[in-house]
Amino acid sequence: MRQKEVTFMALGTVNKIQVRYPDQDEEMIGDVLDMIVERVTKISENCNFYDEHSEVGLINYYAGEKKVKVSYDTLKIIQKGKEYSLKTNGLFDITAGVLTKLWDINHNDGHIPSRLKIFKAKRLVNVKDIYIEGTSVGLKRKGQMIDLGSIAKGYCVDLTKEILVSEGIKEAIINYGGSVVTIGKSYRIGIQNPFKKQGEIIGVLDIQDQAVVTSGNYEHFFVKNKKRYSHLLDLRKGRPVDNNIASVTLVADSALEADVYTTVVFMNTSSSYASKLVILNDGRYYMSDHLRKVFHKADIYE
């Protein structure tokens, strides 16, 4: 068996695919990986919230005016996003782009939006205002914005697994910016310690043919008056989540599903999601019974 790895930038992060395959499949594997990189890169471009010329950018630009024809993958992500938005009773909503833009956590130098601006932005968040006709997508009200940043990565992870399996790959690990999916044998997946530098873990999970997704308040944030404002937004309040959770890790059959429910668990810790690990700001953590069976604590975690 041979091993091949490809690393590329897309979706605003570093992405890695590692596959194991028989010697005779060398040429085929190279072609498949090239195809995946090209497709994921295109999805990243089409779903770029910050590019007004992307497919998502055009949907937002023409909100309240007309619908926009989109590619197959953008349509599928929006359809999935709408489905999960309706399921989660307002805890997750892909039309929260207006709040994403208002807070602009990635570029914020400490500015806190006024209560009035937050109130007005919240009124524009409603996934029911997305309308889809064939391969065209629109928003009913001017000022509304779709933001697929929370699920596009999960979609691409699932898509990559689907393509590899369809091509006969029996062993692989896909890691797109910390959203991980495995194929075949059991892999040990490290869980980031939210209080340490990147790469230092609290422990590992033994995972086979599943997805592992972690979301944390340490990933993107700004600090003002000693208070941290995270990129994770509580849509009920129109503000960054303000609780005692440092990170949430979920294990699921789908990376996209895990993307959605890490957000839900962050805002509702009583969520009965079956496979979760929640780390609190004081260093304590708790996990579901299912994960206790496959979790191994790192000796260095105190």
First to last CA, the chain: 39
According to the 3-state scheme, what is the secondary structure of the chain? Answer: CEEEEEEEEECCEEEEEEEEECHHHHHHHHHHHHHHHHHHHHHHHHCCCCCCCCHHHHHHHCCCCCCEECCHHHHHHHHHHHHHHHHCCCCCCCCEHHHHHHHCHHHCCCCCCCHHHHHHHHCCCCHHHEEEECCEEEECCCCCECCCCCCHHHHHHHHHHHHHHHCCCCEEEEEECCEEEEECCCEEEEEECCCCCCCCEEEEEEECCCEEEEEECCCCEEEECCEEEECCEECCCCEECCCCEEEEEEEECCHHHHHHHHHHHHHCCCCCCCCEEEEECCCCEEECHHHHCCEEECCCCC
- Here the tokens at position 212 are 């592992």
87: left (phi over 0), alpha (psi -120 to 50) or beta: alpha
Query: Helix 152-166 and helix 26-46: axis angle, to 10°?
Result: 160
- Here the tokens at position 239 are 């503000």
Would you list which residues are annotated within the binding site for Mg(2+)?
Answer: 150, 259, 263
Spatial distance between the Cα atoms of 187 and 181, rounded to a whole number of angstroms: 10
Q: Do strands 227-230 and 179-183 pair parallel, antiparallel, or not at all (unpaired)?
A: unpaired
Would you list which residues are annotated within the binding site?
Answer: 150, 259, 263
